[in-house]
Structures are given as C-alpha cells and as structure tokens.
Structure 1
Amino acid sequence: MPYPIVAAVVATMVLLGIYLSTAAPDLTFWDATELMAAAHTMGIPHPPGTPLWVLVGKLASMLFSSAAPPRAITLLSVWSAALTGGAAAYMAARWLGARGAVVAAVSAGTMLTVWNNATETEVYALSLLVSVLLLVTGEFAGRPDTDDHERRRARALMAFVCGLAVPLHLTVLVALPAAVAFAWRGPRPVWREVVAWVALAALGLSAIAVLPLFSAQNPTLDSGNPESWRALVSVLRREQYAVAGLWPRQAPLWLQLGNVFQWSDWQVAYGLHPFPTAHPVRTALTVLWAWLAVLGLRRLWRHDPRVGRAMLLLVLSASLGVALWLNMRAGPTFGVGLLPKGTPHEARERDYFFVLAFWGWGLLAGAGLSAIASALGRRLPAPVAMLPLALVVVPLLANRAVADRSREPVASLPRTYARLLLDAVPRRGVLFAGGDNDSFPLWYLQQVEDYRPDVTVITVPLLGAQWYRERLAAQQLLEVAAVARWPGQGAVLRSLVIHAEGARRAVRVSTLLERSDRLQLDPGGGWALQGLVYAPDRQLGAGQTGLDLPALRRQRSMVPMGALAPLPPGADPAAQTAQELLQCTQVLGPADSLLVSGCGGV
C-alpha cells in the first residue's frame, strides 16, 4: 500500500478514537440543537440556511440511525474532523514522509478549536473537511509530476468545490487563496476551461435551490421562509443580522487582531489554565508551537517553495484576512478595561471562525517536529532522533480535559435544562424566550422527540424579522398589521400577550429574558418567579417581582442534584448560565440574594 494512504488511514483512526471518546453523547448548547432539528426534519436553520449541511446531516441521521438522534448528527462532525486529518496526512506524506505526516495531522487535529468543532453538531467540522479537500486538490494540480490532463481535471474540481461553499458555509472559500497557490503550475488555462469552471461552480451553487423546496413543505423550522427570490437572497446574505461591512470598524483594528492572538493562546494547552487570561506556562507552550510552525514552514519551503508559499498564505488569510473581513466586535472576554463602558461585545467567543488558521498552524507545528527529528537523525540513532515527535501529545493531553463533552454534568445539562423549562409551562402555554439557549434545545425536543409540542416558544430577539412575525400571525398570536410594519418591540410584545390571553393560553417568561423585556410584556402588572420562568401576577404592583412558592417547590423537586454539580474548569459559559438559571428554583424568599443576582428580580 502506498505510504500516503497508510499515513491517511493511521491519522484518521487516531483522530477518530480521540474524537469518539470525547464527543457529546446528547444535546449541546448554542446552534447545535437547531441544526439537529433541521437535519432530522429537513428544516431550515438560521441564515444562511446551510442547505448542503442539512442534506448531509439527514444522510448522517440515517447512516448512524442505531445511535440516539443527537449522537447520530454529532457523528457527522466526528467523522468529518477525523477524515480531515486523514486528508491532511495524505497530502503531507509527500513532504514529510508517513511518520511526519501523521504527527502533523494529529497536531492540527488536537488544536482546541478544531477539537471542539469535532465533538458537537456544527457546520464547521464538515466545512473544514471540504476546505482541506480543496487544498489537497490544489496541491495535486500543482505537482510537477501531474500531467496536464489531470491538472485540468483537478482545477475543474476546485471550481466545483468553490461553488459548494455557498450552500455549505462560506468559510470554505478562506482556503481558496492557498489552494490557488498550490495549483499555480503548468500551462495557462484557455477560455474554454474558464467557462467550464464557471459552469461547475454554478452547479455546486445550485444546491441552494433546495432551500425554497424545503420551505415549500412548511417545516416547523423554516427560518427566513425563503420561498420567494427576495426572501432567498435575504437568507443567503444573512440580512436579519445586519452584517457589518468592512468599514467603519466595530472595534479598533488592533483590538480585533489582539482578539485573534487571545484565541491563539488557547489552542495548544488551554487545559493548563482554562481561563481567558494569559498564563506563563500555557503561553510558553503557545510560543513553542509558533516556533515549531516557523521551523515547519522553513522545511516545507525548502522541500518546495510552492508548498511553503501556499501554507503561509493559508495561515495569513485564515487569521488576519478573516479578522479584517468579518469586522467583529470585541469578544466577550477581551477589551475589558480598554473599551468604554457599554461598548457592545460579541455574544460568545468566535474562535471557530478561525478554525482553518489554527488547523494550518497545527499542521506546520507538526512539520516542525518532523524537521527536528530529521535533523537529529543525521547525528543520532533513529530511536533517539524520533523522541521530539512525542511532543505531539502536548495539545492532546493539555486540551483533553476542556475538550471532553462526555463528562457530567456537561453531558446531560442541556437536555435537563430544556425539559425543565418546557415542563414549567402549563399545557398550551406560550413561553417567551431570551435567545438561542432557551429556544433551540426546546425546538429540538418538540420537533424531533415530540416532547411538549403544545407549548409555543416565542424567541424575543427574532421579533424584528418579518418572516418570524408572519409565522406568529399565522398562529393567531399577532395581529396582521404588525407584520409588514414594525411598530416597535414593546407594542409587539404587548400584542402577543393580549392574543395569548384572549385564546386562554397561559403566558410564561424564561428567566433568561431581560427584565426590561419582561416589563414590556405587561407594563401594568407584576411577575412572580416560579423557578425557571416568571408568571404574570396582577396582585403585584406594576413592575414588581414576587414569588410563587408552591410552584418554586415543585420545580425545585424536579431538578436532579447532578445538574448542579460543579462544572469542570473551562466549561462552556452557556452551561454556567444554565446552572445559574437552574439555581433560580432554589430561591427561598424575597430577600434571597439569588433572586436579584441571577434570576432577573428586583
């Protein structure tokens, strides 16, 4: 068997074992549960809709049907990430030999962000695999031993893969500059080839046509309702999020780049200090991995300048280039004390946007370890010279504790929180939710597992989207006049309450929702805490907070004690928030400090 194939198989199996042992067995927070619901029901998740991912996710749900539904979709990420390592080893074996290629692939695959994306349901593991396949194709097209016929076919395949980026995820295109640098060899393309490239890219792009087909089936999850051309464009352009342009910058450029360096410092050994701030040992290992990447880049450049240029371009375009293009606000843990008070921050850490840069960095660091071993091999016995390769276990050992989603209470907390939140709502009730983490897990339970489908979940941050108001109007929860014309959030919230109460449907409000929004729902009345929700209480004065002690006792008895066990260091902040909200069931009286500090009371 050719040694590149051996390297690919070994790297895939090693990474597959790592990812399988640490993958989430059930639900996780943020977008994962929405994507699970979309894959199982052929629905449309939040813009840009990712229709190709939904199709592949549906195939994964059938292929891994012997596993529980959440695990089946997570296995798509597990296998995608493992195969990414295999593809990388296959490509790198020609530069580093089989042993060095496996080391490079494992180094890249255990960088923290790469590992995190491999163990939950998200689009980034599959998009990383397609990105690396684009690189592998470009590298093949640019080899000196590739004949012109094969070169033309490889370039055509690159064009097709680029077309797939839009229906899958645009992060695939971040790899395009490096892929072109890899492929820059041979005769210049003639115009017929260019026309063929355009046609093949259009063929890949045509996968977006399934979005209106999905929407026409009226799935419960139908974000954007893209049945018209205008609605389809709006979904693809993510217009509901008011995506920032290149200028003005949402944060100073130096701070945006500094944010990238902050996330870089988490990649090699975050488990040694699982906090956003720097730490001498962790940062020293980050610097070591950066130095190894420089050594690896030098070795690749000496092997073939084309390879060195392409890998350097990959890391730069996937890090600095992405930071310039995305124009993000400061991360939630970055810029504190440097920015004026009240400066908007991102809702969560966005390191996953830079996963290709971190993967490329890890690959180069592995090449650096191989370079050191090769240099020592010219002076020392082979067993001794191979010892530096053992350093590849540093990110594996240092990151495992924070990348492991299989441990309790992390493994079961999202399901526990979502079920208890649904159970806190009376039959046929209407729940006002505050965001992704008190909406998406509930949607999954309702749409995939048919658990409490009688509850209508209204996600308040989505009310500004016309398609969402159209859905609420169709459910007779909102007047038609408030659909096309936005009357303001307060008016929409009040209208929703009036319609719900007119239909004799109980209203409940998630404790995750901002208190200011809760007061807009019923400006003239008060709200009683029942645990994970507030209920309207008109015996209280306007804006006052009270306690429904019998309901609190019932909810308190339903919370498994394991759900409140200490979280491991470095756990997802969403898990910490969920535990804080579960603690709201432990409030004992109006003077309890927990009522104010974590449950939105006064």
Structure 2
Amino acid sequence: MTNRVLNRAIAAVLFLGAELLYLATMAPTFSFWDCGEFIATARTLGVPHPPGAPLFLLLGRMFSMLPLPVDIGARVNLISTLASAGTVMLTYLIIVRLIALYRTTPRNEWDGAEAISAFGGAAIGALALAFSDSFWFNAVETEVYALSSLFTATVVWLILRWHEEYPEQGHERWLLLSAYMIGLSIGVHLLSLLAVFAIALVYYFRRFEVNLKTFSVLVLGSSTLFFLIYTLIIKGLPALLQLASWGGLILFLAILVYGVYYTQKHRMAMLNTVLMSVMLIVIGYGSYGLIYVRAQASPPINENNPSTPDAFFSYLNREQYGDMPLWPRRWSPEPTHQYYYSRYNNDLDYFLSYQLERMYLRYFGWQFIGRSDQREGAGVDWSVLWGIPFLVGFGGAVAHFRRQWKMGLVVTALFILTGAALVVYLNQTEPQPRERDYSYAGSFFAFALWIGIGVESLCRQLAVWLKTPGKRERLLLSVLTVTVLGLLVNGRMLQANYRVHDRSGNFVSWDWGWNILQSCQRDAILFTNGDNDTFPLWYLQEVEGIRTDVRVVNLSLANTGWYLQQLKNTSPRGARPVLFSLTNEELEAITYVPIDSASVELPSSAAARELERESREHGFRLPSVPLESIPWKIKPGLIYGGQGYLRPQDIAVYDIVLNNFADRPIYFALTVDPDGMMGLDRYLRLDGLVSKVVPLKSADPMSFVDPVRLSSNLLQVYQYRNLADSEVFLEETSLRLASNYSPLLIRLALDLADEPMKSISVPKPSGGGSRTLKRGELALEVLDTATRLLPPGRFGLNAELAGSAVALYSRLGEKQGASIYIAYLEKLVSRTTPARNPRLFYAMARAYRAAGRMDEAGRVIDSLGAALHEPRLRQEFEKMKE
C-alpha cells in the first residue's frame, strides 16, 4: 500500500469513525437554545434571528425531508454530525500537509517510521479535536457552528492545496474555490471569514520574499481583503440595495461581470483572479436572497420582517442588538451590566480578568486541560485530562516554528484571530446568559493542528535522543510513541467526555415545550421570557403542529415594534390574532415611557364566573370570592437613575391583557421574572410550568392552585421521559430546567396535605375516567412521584422545599421517603458552615425535628448560634429551641 492510499484510507476511517461516534451520541430531537428556532425556520423556510443563516436553512430544509429518523429535529441534527465528521477528516489531512511541508523527504518516499509518525500524529490531532468539549457539543445538535467549522477547515485545506501546486498551470482554481467557500460560509456564520488572514499569509510566503516592505504590503493587503469582504460585500451590498433599490445592485454586478470578462480577454491574470474571487464570494453570499424573498411571504417565524431594503439592511447589520464599541470595554446601557462592571478597577482589568481569562482562556482549558464539571461557570481542572493535550499542542507549536516558522505563523494567525483577537472584537458584557465557548471553535481547531505536529515532532526527537538509526528500530519507536500518546491524549479525552456529551435519550427540551403548551387552555395567550421557553414551543407548533392555537408572546422580542405588529396582524396556522388598542404606527414607534406607577381596573366578571364553575366541578373551595374587577397597579419594569420606566414589553403586556383578558385565557411561563408580570404576580393560579391570570388575589405570588387541574397536568399530561434514568446524561441546561418539576410536585403535595382526609376526584393515571381518593393519599402519591422521577441528589432542590418534603413524609408516616431528603440536606450541610448558609442549617434542623430526630436537631440548632441574622427566621429559631 502506497503512502497516498494509506493517507486516504486513514482519512476515510476517521470520517466514518467520527460520524458513528456522533450518531451514537446525537440528540434524539431538538436541543435547547437556538436549536428549536433553527429547525423550525429550516422546516418552514422562515427567518431566524439576525443575521440569519440562509444556507444552513436550505440544508436544514433538505435534511428535514429525509424519511428517517422519525423525529424531524433528529434529521436536521444530522447536518452537524456529518459536518463535524468532515472537519475531523480535513483536520487530519491538513496536519499531514503541514508535516510534509517541513520535511525534506517527499511524501510518497516516506519510510515506515516517517509514515507512522506523520499519519499517526495527524490522526491524534484530528481525534483531539473530535473529542474536545466544545466541538463535540456542537456536533450532536442543530447549530451553525459545526458547519462553520467545516467551512473553516475546507478553506485552510484548499489554500494548502494551492500552496502545493503553485506555480503549476491551473493553480488558481484552488484560490477561486476557497473564495467561493468563503462566500458560502457567510450564509452559515461569519466566523469563517477570519481564515482570510491565514490565506493571505500562505499566499504571501509562497509568492514573495519576506522583508519589511513586502510584509507591510501583506498587512495592508490582507486588511483590505477583509474590509472588502466584510464591509463592501456583506454590509455594502445591502446598503446599496437600501439606497438605490435593485438598480444599484444590478449595476454593481454588471460592472463586476464585465471586469471579469475584460481581464480574461486581455490576459490580466492577477486582476482576473481577484475579480473572479470577488464574484464567487458574491455568488456564495447570494444565499441571503432567501431571507429577503421568504420575508415577503410572511412565514410564521419572520424575525425583524426584513421584507424591505431598509429592514433587510438592518437585519444583516444586527441593529436589533445595538453596537458594542471596541473601547471602552465596560460599556452597556443596562443597569445589570453596570453593577458587574463596578467590580473591576478599570477597563484593562475587566478585559484581562473577565473577557480574556474567563471568556476565552477558561474555554480553551476546557478543551485540552480538562473541565471541572458541566455546570455553568465551570473552571479548568488539570486532573481531568492531566493537561497532556495542551502540553503536546504547546510542544507542537514550538516545534512548528523551529522547523518551518512561516507555516507556524499561519497557524498562529488562525489561532489568535479566532481566539484572543475575537475576544477584543466581541467585547462581551458581564453577565452572559450562557457559556460562549462555541464562539472560539476556529481557535480550538488551530490548536488541534499543533497537537498532531507535536506528536510527530516527539517521534522524531525521541529517535534522535535514543540514537536509533535503524529503520526497524525507528519504526517500532514511532509505533510505540503514537500508541502511547494516542491513549494518553485521545483515549483519555474520549473517556472523560463520552458520557457528558452523550445526548441519546435526552428528550427534556421536547417534553419541556410539550408540557408548557399542554398546560394552556384553548386559544390562550402565553407570555414567555427567552430562548428556552420560546424556541421549544416554536418547534412543536411549526414542525409538529402541536397546539397551534396558543399564541406565544416572547417578552424579549416584545421590546421591538415589528414583533408586536406581527402579533396583531398575523394568524399563523389559523391562530387568533392578538388584540391591541395601539395602532400599527404606535407599535412601530414603541419606546420607553417614564412612570412611577399607575392604577387601572381590569374587568374580570367572565373570568370570575369561570373560576367559580371550575371550583364547583373540581370539588374544592376557593380561598376568597373571585373579583368582578381586578385592581391592577401597574409597576415600572425598569428603574434607572431613580426613575421608573415602562419598557416596550411592559406596555405590550398591559395592552394585551387589557384587550384580551375578557375572552381569552392569559398565562405567564414559569420562567418569567415577576418584573415582567407588571404587578399581576398576586393574581396568578399555578397550573404547572405556566401560571394563569385569574381574578383572585393570593397572599403570596403564585400561591393559589387548583389541585385537580395541577395534579392532572403534573401526573397525567406532562411527559418526563428518561428523567429517572441515571444512565441518560443531562447537560446543564436540561438539568436546570428539569429541576423545575420537583418544586411543582412538592407544592401540589403540600396543598393536598392541608386537608388529608377530604376526598378528591382526579383523572386516572392511565387516562379514561376518574378516580376518587383521599387528598392525603394523593399527596403521598405526588410526593413519591417527585422522589422517583426527580431524585434531589441529581436535580437539586431548594433546602426549604426539601425540609417541607421531610415534614410531609413524616406526617404521612413514610420514614423511608423522608430519609432520602434528609440525606440530601446532610450532603449540602457537609459542604458549608452555619455562618455561610444559616438558612440551610435552619432547614436541616427543621427536617430533623419533623422526622423525630430531636438530638440531631438540637446539635444543628446549637451550631447555628448567632449565625442566624434574619429577624423572621431568628424568631422561628427561638421557638424551635423552646
């Protein structure tokens, strides 16, 4: 077998192996964050959040039409598995080419030791990328970053092909193909653009002598190239469309085509290549026509409605999110950000401590040193991977510069510009709503190249140190070195990361969306908070056709006029429009309004009658008489500089509730902050993952429940697939959101236990008919369900609720159930001290007392001592001591 055949065979095996790995660990449906939105917009060819990903949507639409898998989300997930496997293969091929460039022996003449060290090292580097934390995470869900990484790797591989063939005839085709790939990549994500500087360096080193003059030209030329693509093409063409409508755009394209024709006719090779490259980038960028065309059709998801040149220009330039200046670093109009900024001495301290260290170096450490755990804010732990991938990669970087500094500089440019330099450009605020490690996928890819080079260089260096001149000895040494490093690097990474990236069996996002929608009554209006309580609903409604009658009102988007106009004027899938008293012009111009507070009356006679009817049907007594009119005190949603303001979303909530409450049920998702409820938090009935606005004032926010409705939702309607299966790993977001179920079940059990001997009629667990039992019996059943489905040791639980569970189990005579929560509290107590967390120790004492373990309760009470400062708890504490 020749080296060429062996090289290709290894590349194919790596592709197939990576694809099988990703298929085995792929999410069986959509995941949280942007995944549901991307799949829904791909399936319907809608318009996702700016700046969109039209090429990704087209691919997603094609994959969504495959006959298998059954779940449409899983079909679109296949894009990421295939793209990631392709990136792994290309990473291997790139490392082999980089090694071949600094070796004196041609690739087809390598002996066994040289082939093993090169191919083996390249395979280890590629697998290090495949098994790395962020890359694997992106590989098994529907997101743009896997496909973006494939484009980055493709562009790097193409420029190395050009470097190899130059100056043979036809070498320009590789440059032209790389330009087209850059153009296409814009329709996925802009990160691939940063590879332009690495391309420019390769071109420079191949064509020109290195000196100060030519290097200055390189810096100017590469910056101009990036400016040409990003400013004149990506931003300039929409601006041209905005300013001169279609005439200006057609004129530009006509001039470009003529320039290509003219330079070809007159044999102006260099200029022709440049103009052809620009034209191919424009053609690739043309995928954005999908956004403009589909916006005209008003698809169900049509974010920003970029159906006019002005709106299209705003969409592509992400004007919805505002601009973040490069300096000052600590800049944001949001009061929350200002609070965090005050913790840093100056802009430099903020940049180094937060943006560079926490928002990049920490993520880099996750990949090649080790991640401490899967929670948000996790640190770097050297005991996980022992830092071996990092040390091998660092050695590879040093060896690369020593053996061929030019290509070392190329990889360095890719590594820095997609890493530390990107930190400067993004200027991310603190806090971020989620971890942002995926932003630096290109930097991690570049470092993986050095891991492969590090393995090959170590094989060579060991041969020199051990003085093994014979071919057989060198071959055995190469095999041994590659094998050992493969186990230490790839074997350990696979072992450490397989379980935490295995999403097979994780249906939390699908069930979360289902449970929210099914909690709502017919034709409901549901206010949601952000991505994770909105995008799952969009997926189920637009892809699966589930509960399309529910109108989802995202409060984050409700700060924009275009979204409110869509709520008012559209009826996706036949759902009823949302009534507004504001005109379209007023909605378009909606803005912040200074206000302290205001009082209005919300007519609620129809809702009061419905509430009384339901209480009679469900056989429970309302805590008070329903109100014919709700005295609604409007509270400002934002306090800034001592002045209260109604945000656009607050105005929207007020107007929607006022105009729709009379004939439509209105809900808030569980994740909506009380500040977003506009003073309605005392007029809510807790129905599960949603709370319904009702004409009944509660003593505490969301303290009123209908036990029949809530038990029906939690025990019969809701799905909790695989939550009780400890073999199914749940990533941080799934675990955090699924932990909301246990408090709901315990809250229901506490309500039922208030009158344990009273009978209650609830639907049968299997469906079909109802059953009558004592409320105390149902309380125990609910509590057992919470303990069985959501063990506190896995999902966590508020200490006070855990204490309540102990007290309730003890009242109902179930000591075994109480012991589970006591053990959980004991584990929490062992990690802290009374001075640090007095409320936890107080809950522990109450739990011991409820379980009849008075001696242990006394010891905890004594340990609290003066640590309990809160007056209310202090008073209760003194009573407990007595």
TM-score (norm: length of structure 1): 0.89
**SS of the counterpart of 2:504?**
coil
d(CA) in 2 for partners of 1:294 and 1:546?
57
1:213 aligns with 2:213: no
1:572 to 731, 740, 746: 731
Q: Is the 8 A contact 2:88 2:126 kept in 1?
A: yes
Please name the residue that 2:481 is paired with.
385
State yes or no: 1:403 paired with 2:403: no
Aligned-pair CA distance for 1:492 = 1.4
Q: CA deviation at 1:400?
A: 1.1
Query: Which whole-Å CA distance do the structure 2 matches of 1:268 and 1:85 have between them?
Result: 16
SS at match of 2:559: coil
| CA deviation vs aligned residue, 1:506-533 (integer Å, no higher than 9, x gap) | 111100111111234x48x611211111
Contact 2:374–2:731 (CA<8 Å) still a contact in 1?
Answer: no
Q: Provide Cα deviations, 1:258-307, integer angstroms capped at 9, x if missing partner.
A: 01111122113646644544465337733x32221122223434554332
Deviating beyond 6 angstroms after TM superposition, the runs of 4 or more aligned structure 1 residues are 566-570, 590-598
- Structure 1 residue aligned with 2:382, among 262, 272, 281? 281
| Whole-Å separation in 1 of the counterparts to 2:709 and 2:545 | 25
**1:49 and 2:52 equivalent?**
yes
How far off is 1:582 after superposition? 2.1
- Indicate how the Cα distance of structure 1 residues 104 and 279 shifts in structure 2: closer, same or farther if over 3 A, else same: closer
Aligned to 1:262: 362
Q: Retained in 2: the 8 A contact 1:271–1:401?
A: no
Q: CA deviation at 1:131?
A: 0.8
Quote the residue 1:69 is aligned against.
72
Q: Which residue number in structure 1 is paired with residue 655 of structure 2?
A: 495
Q: 2:136 aligns with which of 115, 119, 132?
A: 115
Given that residues 100 and 370 in structure 1 are in contact (C-alpha distance below 8 angstroms), is that contact kept between their aligned partners in structure 2? yes
Alpha-carbon distance, 1:363 to partner? 2.8
**Which of 453, 476, 484 is the matching residue for 1:367?**
453
Which of 58, 62, 74 aligns to 1:59? It is 62
SS of the equivalent of 2:32 reads coil
2:186 to 141, 166, 178: 166
**Distance (Å, rounded) in 1 between the aligned partners of 2:303 and 2:379:** 39
C-alpha offsets along residues 31-87 of structure 1, whole Å, 9 cap, x if unaligned?
101111111111111111111110111122234645421111001000000001111
Equivalent of 1:356 in 423, 442, 462: 442
CA distance in 1, matches of 2:58, 2:95: 31
Q: 1:242 to 1:110 in 2, by over 3 A?
A: same
| 1:342 counterpart residue number | none
1:139 alignment counterpart = 160
1:420 pairs with 2:579: no
CA contact (8 A) 2:394 2:450 kept: yes
Matched, 1:440 2:535: yes
SS across alignment from 1:265: helix
Change in Cα spacing, 1:319 to 1:427, as seen in structure 2 (3 Å) is same
- The AA in structure 2 aligned to 1:515 is P
Relative to 1, partners in 2 of residues 1:516 and 1:556: Cα closer, same or farther, differing over 3 Å? same
Is the counterpart of residue 99 in structure 1 residue 120 in structure 2? Answer: yes
Kept after mapping to 2: 8 A contact 1:104/1:364: yes
What is aligned with 1:223? 303
Shift in Å, 1:404: 1.2
2:587 is matched with which residue? 483
Residue in structure 2 matched with residue 305 of structure 1 by the alignment: 405
Distance of 2:729 and 2:202 partners within structure 1: 38
1:338 maps to none
CA contact (8 A) 1:296 1:371 kept: yes
Q: Distance in 2 between matches of 1:219 and 1:359?
A: 37
Contact 2:77 2:141 in 1 (8 A): yes
**Matched residue, 2:393:** 293
Q: 1:527 aligns with which of 651, 670, 684?
A: 684
| Distance apart, 1:561 and its partner CA | 5.6
Residues 1:469 and 2:469 aligned together: no
SS at match of 1:190: helix
Q: Which residue of the partner structure matches residue 85 of structure 2?
A: 82
The question of 1:198 aligning with 2:278 is answered yes
Q: Is the 8 A contact 1:100 1:366 kept in 2?
A: yes
In 2, are the aligned partners of 1:7 and 1:99 still within 8 Å (CA)? no
Structure 2 counterpart of 1:451: 546
Provide the rounded CA distance (Å) in 2 between the counterparts of 1:577 and 1:291: 34
Classify 1:62/1:377 alpha carbon distance in 2 versus 1 (closer, same or farther; 3 Å). Answer: farther
Decide which moves more: 485-494 or 72-81.
Answer: 485-494
Which letter does structure 1 place at the counterpart of 2:661?
E
Q: How far 1:103 sits from its partner (Å)? A: 1.7
Tell whether 2:560 aligns with 1:557.
Answer: no
| CA–CA distance in structure 2, aligned partners of residues 509 and 14 of structure 1 | 46
Contact 1:4 1:91 in 2 (8 A): no
| Counterpart among 2, 5, 9 of residue 6 in structure 1 | 9
Residue pair 1:148, 1:186 contacting (<8 A) in 2 also: no
Equivalent of residue 29 in structure 1, options 28, 32, 36: 32
Shift of 1:4: 3.6
Is 1:24–1:119's contact at 8 Å kept on the other side of the alignment? yes
User: Unaligned stretches of 5+ in structure 1?
Assistant: 331-344
Structure label with greater radius of gyration: 2
State the Cα deviation string for residues 481-509 of structure 1 (Å, max 9, x = none): 5412215332211111123224x111111
Give the counterpart letter for 1:100 in structure 2.
Answer: G
- The question of whether the paired residues in 1 share the 8 Å contact of 2:152 and 2:192 is answered with yes
Matched residues in 1 for 2:317 and 2:700: separation? 39
In the alignment, which residue of structure 1 is the partner of 2:418? Answer: 318
For 2:621, the equivalent position in structure 1 comes to none
Counterpart in 2 of 1:328?
428
Deviation of 1:385 after TM superposition, in Å, equals: 3.4
Q: Is the 8 A contact 1:418 1:441 kept in 2?
A: yes
Q: Secondary structure at the match of 1:431?
A: strand
1:416-444 CA-partner distances (Å, limit 9, x unpaired): 11111100000111111111111101111
The secondary structure found in structure 1 opposite 2:93 is helix
Cα distance in 2 for partners of 1:561, 1:125 equals: 29
CA contact (8 A) 2:529 2:554 kept: yes
Identity of aligned residues (%): 24
Farther-moved stretch of structure 1 (214-223 vs 72-81): 214-223
Q: How many residues were matched structurally?
A: 576
Deviation at 1:552, TM superposition (A): 1.7
Instruction: Report the 3-state secondary structure (helix = DSSP H, G, I; strand = E; otherwise coil) of the residue aligned with 1:315.
Output: helix
Letter in 1 for 2:89: G
Q: CA deviation at 1:542?
A: 9.2
Residue identity in the other structure for 1:202: V
1:321 offset after TM fit, Å? 0.9
Work out the CA distance in 1 between the residues paired with 2:69 and 2:725.
32
Q: Distance in 1 between matches of 2:446 and 2:657?
A: 51
5+ unaligned residues in a row in structure 2: which ranges? 100-117, 209-268, 331-340, 342-349, 570-576, 592-647, 755-782, 784-796, 803-882
SS in structure 2 opposite 1:449?
coil
Find the aligned partners of 1:352 and 1:204 in 2 and give their Cα distance: 24
Hey, what's the Cα distance between the residues in 2 that align with 1:272 and 1:581? Answer: 24
CA contact (8 A) 1:161 1:204 kept: yes
- Name the aligned partner's letter for residue 376 of structure 1: L
Closer/same/farther in 2, CA of residues 517 and 273 from structure 1, 3 Å limit: closer
Residue 207 (structure 1) shift? 1.5
Question: d(CA) in 2 for partners of 1:114 and 1:246?
Answer: 28
The Cα shift of 1:185 comes to 4.3
Q: TM-score, normalised by structure 2?
A: 0.62
More RCO (CA 8 Å, sep 6+): 1
Whole-angstrom distance in 2 between the partners of 1:308 and 1:128: 20
Aligned to 2:744: 585
1:235 positional shift: 1.4
Deviations 1:3-54 (A, max 9, x none): 4422321221221122111111112111101111111111111111111110
Partner residue, 2:175: 155
